[in-house]
Structure 1
């Protein structure tokens, strides 16, 4: 086995949720494990055949984890028109027109992900796309991935007219006379994509996963939670694993359907067993995903009190509460971890109530004890009286810290929808940490950047690193650099059900990232510019 010794920089052995960090000056890996630290590691550098890595004044830290993302969706964005980089509506249309001109043979045009702030209220019209797509059916997904924009040919392909009823748990945004505008929300968008839009070819999907995990490795990430997996996605991941095209570990979360979850249960158990039998150390499927609600920007997040700008609406709940509890209990009994999307304050209350009911399930009596590590993801809007429940219930709060800033979306859509009286209930990372709960961090890529470095900066500053002198938004919710690193390492290890990862202690798995500077001591505004010089997954260098 190769012996690798790291010296010449700061070795961050562990970051704790309270912000405390443990450091060393040397560390040694052999095979997939850490075998020595400090002077013991330095002495091993003299052994014959040892590989010596001089950190050149940089830092070696436990590898980064990704607590919530969508690698297939993100990777496939490169297959369609590049609308993400557009600066305005005209830019989106120009990108679509250019792609269509270069692909005249395409029977459908499928792309992502556009900025919903480019149209009033996030409502985009079919005729705008018609002008550049003609009669080629076209669908673009918004960056929230809860909304889609289609042209008239796509509406026709889906049989959507003024007489078409909204699907359960979805909404066709309409003009006053009932005519669909071309904007589809929640199930209206997702069902359209599943049932009408032709799927991407398997080769394209596998290439997307490979590209995504290679990019994760290049930024020091070794574990990713794919937070929305359909049964049809399993073939993609299995093929990628068999072909050794996974460059980071990926855990799959199967989406539970409110209407068919009882029928799904046995199938998901079988798919989990298929992946366990495959025995690939970079692929697992231990998790079930529940969408409690949608997003604030589309008025589909579930609030306890009505939206400020729509007094009669409280959002679009995806589940009856009793049915959600029944489903969560059954999937928990089947040994799955729960991963619950909750954006609105009432959605977070519902998610916490659900996990409380799972914890108190009489059917658990006599079952073997196990680490459950159930997760509530996003925790975007949390009523103050719910903060302590994460620690009380043993729930992991998975935040996407890049969102914890007052950017254009927050200023132009989110705050006007919920009102200034509830503005301060958002992304309460500091409060949840102080309550004693476990916090993990993620990106929700491709909703926002997969790069952990700008998100790390935002968690500390509560503003964009591009505005280093900006005023912190909700400054009491800032966290220390050590706490932020812990959320990406120890917090992720707990979420991943991987107690041997998340720190660089003797005997633990050798997952590490080599950074050109120490993120614990650097100006947080400069962390996004720190180069990643190397990544190790179980002792194997992946970047």
Structure 2
């Protein structure tokens, strides 16, 4: 065997390979792992790049099973309202942003924390006072709510006479006038009037997202919801050799026109396949782009009262939320796209949405026959105990965003009051699902929450907030051990991607690697969130280094 291109040595290597969980050295050649331990050291030649781990930790590169790089990156270029600590902080940010951009026709921002508003509801008049001369449109951190100023509502023609659209709610005052908060499909009344982001802005935003992903140690992502028109942004960046991660795109399914979308989605998949072949023939470096999945939104979110529940909300006994599909329609659509060879990726938050999704998976297998389809239930927030074993039984992947599995302000102010004590204990059953033998994958849903995997892993291991509350962890029986949490962010997501060679460090595997600044093998769980990523390699090529 020729000398290795790169050898990592002198630290702890957590391989993720059950047959050899720990190593001390790794050799890489031709984009793949070619040796471990003494075999790796024997492959050091005169031209080999030697990376001294110096007591640090090498792990498989992280793979995010649910993220929105194009949306998230583009949104970083809008008004900076993410992480506003209260309403006054948010309004101050809007005033400064608007004052610096007097020619901007709309003030748009993404990511306000809904928990800073009373019951999550924003009033248009509050925004009017901050920016009186232009429409203002803000999206919540979960993107299932929008907060609009009076000028924005007027531009969209939303007033006391506007009916609630199917699958959406215009939140109203007692006299029927809109407050300024729009839920779910009601946001679509506003969106056509907001100036769109052009291709140049999207490309700039995606570049921002790729840089952040590489800095977080991420080497593969499930781009969780795009239209066919946005696939080109990825393909252009890939053609230029600028992708620093592999990407699988899920195309968003519209409940109102899904049958017509089938041909559009097949064309988008073929375009990505053709582009990949051309890149390979030309030897263009960088990450790969596939279009192998379709995204369904089964429901909304519990904190907004739009997650679909089996029983009514405690604070609204007349409502079980807003399902975006009937059970029969979802089953029919999932089976149709499955017949076209697409992987189903379904946003399912409430227990009714999770059950409906699992029912659709079961229907699809019965109708289309057995095959390796690996359907994904995304978020898996609230699961009725009767449905926990069904993931393993049906071969469904339970995708969790582990950072959400903590009792933070969103949980105490918005979610628990709407669910009540018993159902609150059914949230994020990561440990229960793991113990059934089902595949668990982790993701971030960025820009909804931080994309940094080590922050999510810390919560998965502790079920605590950053300040260590509660002391014994929230629903501590749902915690995972460190090895299992790492596996969910690497091997589990590799399985989701149909890439069974990836997600671990073993001979023959892609050299997708992440260098952590500390040896995490024996680090206390609460300290994991602060561990820095000091290097990232995609197929042996360095894409980030501090």
TM-score tier by shorter-chain length is: over 0.9
Instruction: Give TM-score, length-normalised by structure 1.
Output: 0.96
Question: Equivalents in 1 of 2:441, 2:479: separation in Å?
Answer: 15
Q: Are 1:323 and 2:329 counterparts?
A: yes
Task: Name the SS of the counterpart of 1:135 in structure 2.
Answer: coil
Alignment of 1:445-464 (within 5 A): 445-464=446-465
Work out the CA distance in 2 between the residues paired with 1:324 and 1:264. Answer: 15
The answer to whether structure 1 residue 489 and structure 2 residue 486 are counterparts is: no
Is the contact made by 1:465 and 1:526 (CA closer than 8 Å) also made in structure 2? no
- 1:6–1:28 contact (8 Å) kept in structure 2: yes
Q: 8 Å contact 1:209–1:246 — kept in the other structure?
A: no
| Structure 1 CA distance for aligned equivalents of residues 172 and 17 of structure 2 | 50
Q: In the aligned structure 2, how far is the partner of 1:15 from the partner of 1:341?
A: 30
Give the equivalent residue in structure 1 for 2:203: 206
Measure, in 2, the Cα distance between the counterparts of 1:466 and 1:277: 49
Q: Is the 8 A contact 2:303 2:414 kept in 1?
A: yes
Residue equivalent to 1:251: 248
Find the aligned partners of 1:504 and 1:7 in 2 and give their Cα distance. 14
Residues 247-283 of structure 1 deviation map (CA, whole Å, 9 limit, x = unaligned): 2122111111111000000100100110111105421
Task: Indicate which of 13, 26, 33 corresponds to 1:11.
Answer: 13
In structure 1, the residue matched to 2:537 is 536
Query: Structure 1: 5+ residue runs without aligned partners?
Result: none
In 1, the alpha carbon distance for the partners of 2:513 and 2:138 equals 37
What is residue 58 of structure 1 aligned with on the other side? Answer: 56
Please report how far the alpha carbon of residue 347 of structure 1 lies from its aligned counterpart in structure 2 after TM superposition: 0.7
Deviation at 1:541, TM superposition (A): 0.6
- Matched residue SS, 2:357: helix
Contact 1:321 1:350 in 2 (8 A): yes
| Alpha carbons 1:15, 1:482 under 8 Å: kept | no
Question: Residue 511 of structure 1 contacts residue 536 of structure 1 at CA under 8 Å; is this kept in 2?
Answer: yes
The 8 Å contact of residues 66 and 441 in structure 1, kept in 2 or not, is answered as yes
Aligned with 1:350: secondary structure?
Answer: helix
- Structure 2 residue matching 1:473: 3-state secondary structure: coil
- The Cα shift of 1:78 comes to 2.0
Match of 1:377 in 2: 378
Among candidates 169, 172, 178, match of residue 170 of structure 2: 172
Residues 1:333 and 2:331 are matched in the alignment? no
Q: 1: CA distance between counterparts of 2:264 and 2:4?
A: 42
Distance 1:239 1:3 in 2: 29
Secondary structure of the equivalent of 2:42?
helix
For these two proteins, the number of residue pairs brought into alignment is 533
Deviation at 1:421, TM superposition (A): 1.6
Listed as ranges, the gaps of 5+ residues in structure 2 are 280-286
Q: Secondary structure at the match of 1:277?
A: helix
2:76 and 2:254 map into 1 onto residues whose CA distance is 28
Q: Secondary structure at the match of 1:26?
A: strand
| Contact 1:27-1:37 within 8 A present in 2 as well | yes
With structure 2 as the length reference, what TM-score do the two structures score?
Answer: 0.95
Query: Is the CA contact (8 Å cut-off) linking 2:4 and 2:27 kept in structure 1?
Result: no
Give the drift of 1:518: 2.5
Q: Distance between the aligned counterparts of 1:163 and 1:445, measured in 2?
A: 36
Alpha-carbon distance in 2 for matches of 1:156, 1:44 = 69
Change beyond 3 A, Cα 1:96–1:49 = same
**Distance in 1, Cα, partners of 2:243 & 2:205:** 10
